[in-house]
Amino acid sequence: MKSILIIGASRGIGLELVRQYTDAGRRVIATVRDDAGRERVQALGGEVLTIDVADPASVSGLAWQLDGEKIETAWYVAGVIRRPNATTPPTQEDFDAVMHANVLGAMQTLPQVAPLVADAQGVFAFLSSSMSQIGSVPDSGSWLYRTSKAALNMAVASAQHDYPGATLITIDPGWVQTDMGGEGAALKVQDSVRGLRATVAGVTAADKGRLLHHDGRRAAHW
pLDDT at 149 over 70: yes
More confident residue, 60 or 182: 60
State residue 159's pLDDT score. Answer: 98
State residue 182's pLDDT score. Answer: 66
Q: Hey, is 172 helix, strand or coil? A: strand
Angstrom distance (rounded) from CA 188 to CA 166: 30
Domains defined along the chain, listed by start:
2-213 (3.40.50.720)
Angstrom distance (rounded) from CA 203 to CA 175: 22
pLDDT at 107 over 70: yes
Sign of the Cα pseudo-torsion (148, 149, 150, 153, in order): positive
State residue 1's pLDDT score. Answer: 78
Predicted TM-score (pTM) of this structure: 0.93
pLDDT at 208 over 60: yes
What mean pLDDT is reported for the chain? 91
- pLDDT over 90, % of the chain: 74
**Closest to 53 in 3D by CA, of 94, 92, 5, 108:** 108
